[in-house]
Amino acid sequence: MLNNPDEGSVKGKGAETMLPARGNPFQPAGSGPAPAAPSGAGTPDLTPEDLASLFPDAPSPNLAAEVTAAGSPGAAAVDPAFAATMQPYATLPAAAAEAPSAAVVATATTVATTVATATATLAAAPAGQPAAQPDGERPTGNNMYDPDIEWIGLEINPDAIGPRSERYERAEELPADAALLAMFATDNRLKQRWGEIDELENRLTSMAKLSQSLAQLMLDRLQTARNLLLNNRDQIEDAERELAEVRFRYEHVKRSRYFEQPSFIFGSLLVMMVLAVLGFAWPLVNFEAFETLSRQLELLQLGDGVRLIDLWSTILWGALGGITGALYGLWTHVADKKDFDPGFSIWYYTNPLMGMMLGAFVYVVVMSGVLTFLQNSPMVLYILAWVVGFQQNLAFKLVNNVLKRLTPATDEKGVRPEGLG
């Protein structure tokens, strides 16, 4: 404990030690003369003469007056370079209320131009992409989106699934020879093609299976064939190409079967929906069988925490999503756009089946814990299964997201990003 409680104050230490040499900062103004500074209690202030002797090259304290007087008549000679350098300082107080100088305006203009250039550069960048950064400052990590990072692991490409048909690229058209044109493009051939166009137009307008948009498309192509025949004789090959494509589409629609028609597809989807709804009631009737089989799977170590009721319900929700997507597609192409094509009828039948299989896949993914942001709850399973069944393109994104977490991934420098789980 301190012997003197005031030893840290002015009273305890004394004014000679605690207070400056000149004046008492704790004494109110006008309360009396300041006490004299004790000897050796500080260093006195330097006079202007002392400063001039210590810094001989420093400007004079009366620099402004000296520079102003240097420009008056009869003044002593002053170095012109020194006077030109110090002149702005001599007139600084007077210039504060005047317009900015040319140097200030030039500086402000440069700053504004720089800001405008940077703003234009950011505006010109593509939407949704981060601004370019140096290689050492590029964001990486599992929660960062970097378009320059290329995944080296497995990835599913929907375009590479299934067989591919051969595609033919048409060669550049060559000018026709006059002699050969007169030999092959005869008048009888032109009249024959014109008659075929008339016949196809009559068939298209009387065909009940043909949708409105498809009929308009084929009639437009027939009109193009007519224009080609009327324009020039050497364009007969282009007119015959248009005529052949219309004839092919017409024969394809004409040979379509009853199960490829919208009414039959709609009835089939309704039957699938009823079966899916009845499927939800099946576990209620055979609840004990589902629970027994679930326990047997756990004993056989075929599944940890797998409940067959949840798996079955997830599959059915995927099927309902596929049925809903098929019904929506049927309504879009039959009632809305009116461009239904029987050639795509197989899609309406396979969409619910794909939804069932993708629903099972969703259950496996969520239960495995690979995607940590998904909650392991039945409602999350059902919602995700329905969404993937409705729009199956999302399934490929889900699969690729899983593969990125199961397979090694490296960036363009061969380094795996930190935080990848």
Average pLDDT, the chain: 74
pLDDT at residue 252 is higher than 80: yes
Distances (CA, A) of 266 to 228, 329, 352, 387: 41, 11, 13, 21
> Which of 225, 254, 283 is the C-terminal boundary of a domain?
254
324 and 202 fall within a common domain: no
Q: Which DSSP state fits 370?
A: -
pLDDT at residue 225 is higher than 70: yes
Of residues 115 and 254, the one with the higher pLDDT is 254
Q: What's the pLDDT tens digit per position in 26-81?
A: 555 555 555 554 544 455 567 777 777 777 665 555 555 555 555 555 445 556 66
DSSP string, 49-65: HHHHHH-TTSPPTTHHH
Q: Which domain holds residue 381?
A: 259-406
201 and 340 fall within a common domain: no
265 and 398 fall within a common domain: yes
Q: Which DSSP state fits 334?
A: I
Q: Residue 14: what pLDDT?
A: 65
pLDDT at residue 99 is higher than 80: no
244 and 265 fall within a common domain: no
> Which of 217, 238, 254 is the C-terminal boundary of a domain?
254
264 and 399 fall within a common domain: yes
Please report whether residue 334 resides in a domain.
yes
401 and 301 fall within a common domain: yes
Number of domains within the chain: 2
Residue 289: pLDDT band by 50, 70, 90 thresholds? Answer: confident
383 and 250 fall within a common domain: no
Please report whether residue 51 resides in a domain.
no
Of residues 311 and 421, the one with the higher pLDDT is 311
275 and 335 fall within a common domain: yes
**Global pTM value:** 0.55
Please report whether residue 210 resides in a domain.
yes
Please report whether residue 355 resides in a domain.
yes
Instruction: Report the distance separating Cα 94 and Cα 73, nearest Å.
Output: 21
Q: Residue 421: what pLDDT?
A: 41
Please report whether residue 136 resides in a domain.
no
Q: Residue 401: what pLDDT?
A: 76
Please report whether residue 199 resides in a domain.
yes
Helices 262-285 and 308-331 cross at an angle (nearest 10°) of 160
304 and 385 fall within a common domain: yes
279 and 397 fall within a common domain: yes
DSSP string, 2-31: -SSTTTTSHHHH-HHHHS-SS--TTSPTTS
Q: What's the pLDDT tens digit per position in 297-345?
A: 776 655 566 678 888 999 999 999 999 999 999 999 999 988 999 989 9
Q: Residue 320: what pLDDT?
A: 96
> Which of 205, 228, 254 is the C-terminal boundary of a domain?
254
312 and 214 fall within a common domain: no
231 and 294 fall within a common domain: no
Amino acid (one-letter) located at 322: G
pLDDT at residue 244 is higher than 80: yes
Please report whether residue 128 resides in a domain.
no
Q: What's the pLDDT tens digit per position in 174-202?
A: 888 989 998 999 999 999 999 999 999 99
Please report whether residue 350 resides in a domain.
yes
Q: Do residues 417 and 142 lie in contact, with contact meaning Cβ atoms separated by under 8 Å? A: yes
